[in-house]
Structures are given as C-alpha cells and as structure tokens.
Chain A
Amino acid sequence: MTLDQFKPQAETPESFALSLEIADPGAQTPRLTPVVIRNLSTGGVTLTVTNPRDIPDWDRYRGEACVLRVEDPGGGASFNIRATIAWTRFGGPGQPPLSLGLQLIKPSGEVMRRLSNLLPQTSQDIKKLWERYDQVRETPEKPDWVHRCYIAGLGLLLAGLMLQFAGSPGYKGWGWILWLLGSLGIAAKIMRPFRQKQPARDQIGRTL
C-alpha cells in the first residue's frame, strides 16, 4: 500500500482550510503545510499531515513552536492557535502517513469549541459534554473562606499561646483573645462538613 492510498476517517470540513506553520531555525521563512484535524484532548490536538513529503526529517521539529491556522473560505473569522509539536509518528499500512501531536498554548474554551466543530463525525452529545466540562474547569473557583479562616486561626492560636505562656503579664489578656479567635477559625473548618442541614425527626414525620 502506498502512502497516497490513505484516506483519513474524519475529514475536516472542506470549507475550512487547516494549515500548520512551523518555525524552521535553518530557514528565513516558516514552513507551511496543509493538515487535517483528527482528534482533540485537553489542551492538545492530533493532526494528520496531508503531504508529509513536503518537509523532510519531521522528527527534528519535535518541541518546536508552530501555529495552527484555521481559515474559513466562506468568509467566517479565521484564527490562529499557537502550539508546540509534542510528537511525530509515521504510520504503517492503512494508517495516516504522518500524525502530529500538538500541545496548544493556553487554549481558551472558545478555541477548543471551534476546533471540536472541525470534527464532523464526532458524536455531538459527547462534544457538548466536553465543552461543558471545559467551561466548568475555566470558571474560577470561589475563594475558600473557611480554609483561609483555618489558616488564620492556626496562626492566631499559636500567637495567642505564645503570648500567654511566654509574653509579659500585660499581654496575657491579648493571648486569651487571640487563642479564642484562632480556635473559632479552626472550629469553622472542622464543622464545615456538618454544616449541611441535619435531618430532623419532626421534618421526617411531616413527609410521611
């Protein structure tokens, strides 16, 4: 089987032209080669190079910076994604002639969504599942005030104990106050799991 006989299973929609621009340390201009998107992972993308013979010795590009160019001939917005080439792999008979693994540099959820739209044969519901998953991961977590109280509480408790046992008599009162405040901070952390409403017997009775 010759290399030319390979037909990718999941073709990128023809209306989109995907190309990879690779920085070549030995050349003045970067190399540009057409690619087809094959798969996505968290922060990564697998591509098939359409004409791998255009560029000799692919292995030397591992770790090199590159740009994935997505152009929409239909007039839609084109976009570029910065990445590094994580791995290169030549396929055997019946496999893609050359696959590339790119690690995208800080891809936003929107970039991942648009790339996933280039995988036309992927199940739409699974696509949506991972999109929602990325959205949830992107949403910054609210500051954990209880944990902060716990850390502050530990500090206050230690300071309070030091003042109480090693400080001058005039500061012993402050030691008590710090000790007490610190204990409250620690107690908040311990009590958090039990802060959820406990089932009450009278409430049960009403539902039966």
Chain B
Amino acid sequence: MNLNRIKLWSVGGGKGGIGKSLVTLGLGVALARLGKKVILIDGDLGGANLHTLMGVRYPHVTLEHFLTKKVSRLEDTIIETGVEGINLICGADDLMGAANPTFAQKIRLLQQIEDLPAQYVLFDQGAGTSYNTLDFFNFSSGKIALFTSQTTSLQNAYGFIKSALYRKLSRDFAKDDEILQCLYQGGNGGNGNNFESIHDLLEHFKTVNPEKHARLSQALWDFHLFLVVNMVKSNTDLKAPEIIRSVCQDFLNIQPDLMGHVLFDPGVEAAINHMVPFPLHQKKSKAMVGLEQIALTLVRQSRLPRRGIHGAWEAQEDEDLPMETIAAHPSRS
C-alpha cells in the first residue's frame, strides 16, 4: 500500500522562548509512545539546544558536519537518544558557515530529510523570521505555528505566518512582476489599486486575470497551517488561536486549523534543569496530556486527504483509508 503520508512536520512561531523545542520534544515522545519511529531535527542553526533538552551533553555529530560536507549523508548525523523510538539530529552552535547555509546547502538538507529512516521527522525551527527559517518551514508538508497567549507571542506568530506566506508567494511567483508588485507595494505602482489584504488582491485578479487568480488561490490553498497554543493557564488563553485565525482569514486568505493546546506545566522547568526529557521526568505531565492529543491529530492529519480547492478530495489514496476515519475528519462536517 503506497500511502502519501506527511512525514516532515515543522514547528515554528517566530518568537523565542515560547517552547518550540519543548513542544517538538514532547510531540516526539508522544508519537514514539504510539509506536512510531521519530527523528527530531534541531533547525536552530545559531543556538541549538534541543539535544540539551534530550539530555545529550556532547553531541559528536551535528548538522554542521552535514552542511560543511564532513559527512555526506544526513542519516550519518543521527544520534541515538535514551527515549525508545526517538533519534536526534543536533543543530549547529554558532559556528560560521552553518548558521547561514547557502541555497544549495538548504536544498541538499531538505532533500535528504525525506530519505531519513523514520515515519515522522519533527523539525524544530529557530526563532525569528530569517529566510532560512521561513524556507525550512515552507518546505515542510506539515506546518505547525506555535504561540502562547502573550501579546508579544501573538504578534510575532502572526508576523511569522505572514512572512512565511509572503516568502512562499514570492518564490512561487518569482517571475511574475505584477503579482510581486501587488504583494509588496500594495499595488501602488501607478495603476491606482491599493490592496490592504490578499483578499483584495484575489478580487483584483479575479476580474483582471482569472488565470493568475487561480494560481494564487492554489498557492494559498497549498499553504496549509496548524495552530498550537502553548503554556495555557486559563480559559482566556484558549481564545488566542481565534485571534490569529480571524486575522489570517481576513488579511491572508488562509484558514489555519487548530491542532490543540498544551497546558502550562511548572514541572517542565525542573526537568530541564535535571537535563531529563520532561515527559520522562514526571509520571503524569500536564503538558503531555495536550501533546498526546496533538500527536493523535498529527497522525490523523498526516494521512487524511484534504478537500481540494474546488471541493473535490485531493488525495488519490482515499480508498486505502478506513471509511470511519474519513467520515470523522473535521473538514467533512
């Protein structure tokens, strides 16, 4: 059975300190507990610390070895961890050359990620909105935007999503000056148009150039995104994804899906200080309850077909999926 599974999932969010590495780790452990083979990649090429959270003090091989061609295969940079089912590829640590990979280096890395011996690869993105981070995020079939309910995180998360989408569109339409001008200058190129949102842009091309409208709509559709809110302390915090969703819908014309939430767990800090993966430090971790739910959703979303832009089911593997799974998919409702 040849299943078109989403293998690579990226966890990004723009702001530092919102728990991207911890959520990646916890999600990896949750998937491993479901019997999956998982590889975690620390995509922070300037300040890697996922290995520290995993309890690995001295990684003997990192992404830097691959990017600088000291090892030829990405697979050779995999490090075994103490958690069954989880392997790790460590990030580079402020070394010249690794923090700013060339486009060719990025392509080489991304191509080899697909060949890694795992069912799921979780890519922990670094903070910020550098082109590296945005490119790695956009390349991933599974995209998770992580944020907390803090005002700074909300603003950065939206900025991150917007930057990633604009980066994707500018790559997809690199040779189309008209669309690029409309995107980045709001259409003020002497034609009298003024676009405040991508919705305005779509409406413009709908009448002026239906072919471009179709291509743009498809590109937006391909940018499928999941939201996860971290460090939830109150019911009000649970409303944070709605803020992001509504702004994304109104101004970016994308409809991110809520994947779940992770409760604030004071035990996580103690685990970090003990250099023990936090899900192993406590028997019952409050944070892991949410992450186990998210892992389930991730497994389901990795396999489910998406309704196509014109309403038809996209994946040709529909027939291979149990009917109850498809029927239970939220997009059916």
A-to-B contact residues, CB < 8 Å: 124-126, 128-129, 132-133, 136-137, 139, 141-142, 144, 193-194, 196-199, 203-204, 206-208
A206 partner, pick from B154, B236, B324, beta carbons under 8 A: B324
Chain A residues near B30 (CB, 8 Å)? 199
B243 partner, pick from A136, A206, A207, beta carbons under 8 A: A136
Beyond A193-B263, A199-B292, A207-B299, whether A128 also contacts B247 by CB under 8 A is: yes
B299 partner, pick from A126, A141, A208, beta carbons under 8 A: A208
The B238-272 residues at the A interface (CB cut-off 8 A) are 239-240, 242-243, 246-247, 250-252, 263
Chain B residues near A126 (CB, 8 Å)? 155, 158
Whole-angstrom distance between the alpha carbons of A108 and B326 in the complex?
A: 45
Q: Is the CB of B155 within 8 A of A129?
A: yes
Chain A residues near B292 (CB, 8 Å)? 198-199
Whole-angstrom distance between the alpha carbons of A189 and B106 in the complex?
A: 48
Q: Is the CB of B322 within 8 A of A206?
A: yes
A125 partner, pick from B35, B158, B284, B293, beta carbons under 8 A: B158
Chain B residues near A208 (CB, 8 Å)? 299, 303
Chain B residues near A139 (CB, 8 Å)? 236, 239
* Interface residue B300 (Cβ < 8 Å from any Cβ of A): yes
Whole-angstrom distance between the alpha carbons of A24 and B251 in the complex?
A: 45
B246 partner, pick from A132, A144, A204, A206, beta carbons under 8 A: A132
CB distance from A41 to the nearest CB of B (A): 11
Beyond A128-B250, A129-B154, A199-B296, whether A207 also contacts B325 by CB under 8 A is: yes
Q: Is the CB of B284 within 8 A of A129?
A: no
Whole-angstrom distance between the alpha carbons of A143 and B44 in the complex?
A: 41
Closest to B248 in A: A125
CB distance from B153 to the nearest CB of A (A): 12
* Interface residue B187 (Cβ < 8 Å from any Cβ of A): no
Q: Is the CB of A204 within 8 A of B299?
A: yes
Q: Is the CB of A207 within 8 A of B296?
A: yes
Closest to A195 in B: B289
- A-B contacts, CB under 8 A, total: 74
CB distance from A116 to the nearest CB of B (A): 14
CB distance from B329 to the nearest CB of A (A): 10
Q: Size band of the B side of the interface?
A: 35 or more
Q: Is the CB of B196 within 8 A of A124?
A: yes
Chain B residues near A125 (CB, 8 Å)? 158, 162, 197, 247, 250-252
Chain B residues near A204 (CB, 8 Å)? 34-35, 296, 299
CB distance from B95 to the nearest CB of A (A): 36
Chain A residues near B279 (CB, 8 Å)? none
CB distance from B326 to the nearest CB of A (A): 11
Determine chain A's interface SS by DSSP, over half rule.
Answer: helix
Indicate the member of B240, B263, B289 with the most A CB atoms within 10 Å.
B289
Closest to A137 in B: B236
Beyond A129-B154, A141-B236, A196-B290, whether A124 also contacts B296 by CB under 8 A is: no
Closest to B151 in A: A133
Q: Is the CB of B242 within 8 A of A199?
A: no
Whole-angstrom distance between the alpha carbons of A194 and B286 in the complex?
A: 7
Closest to B30 in A: A199
Chain A residues near B234 (CB, 8 Å)? 141
B286 partner, pick from A193, A199, A207, beta carbons under 8 A: A193
Whole-angstrom distance between the alpha carbons of A136 and B197 in the complex?
A: 23
Whole-angstrom distance between the alpha carbons of A194 and B250 in the complex?
A: 35
Chain A residues near B236 (CB, 8 Å)? 136-137, 139, 141
Whole-angstrom distance between the alpha carbons of A192 and B89 in the complex?
A: 36
Q: Is the CB of A129 within 8 A of B247?
A: yes
* Interface residue B2 (Cβ < 8 Å from any Cβ of A): no
CB distance from B327 to the nearest CB of A (A): 11
Q: Is the CB of A136 within 8 A of B239?
A: yes
Chain B residues near A124 (CB, 8 Å)? 196-197, 251
Q: Is the CB of B34 within 8 A of A199?
A: yes
Q: Is the CB of A133 within 8 A of B243?
A: yes
Q: Is the CB of A203 within 8 A of B296?
A: yes
Chain A residues near B299 (CB, 8 Å)? 204, 207-208
* Interface residue B74 (Cβ < 8 Å from any Cβ of A): no
Closest to B245 in A: A132
* Interface residue B235 (Cβ < 8 Å from any Cβ of A): yes
Q: Is the CB of B235 within 8 A of A142?
A: yes
Q: Is the CB of B247 within 8 A of A206?
A: no
Whole-angstrom distance between the alpha carbons of A126 and B296 in the complex?
A: 33
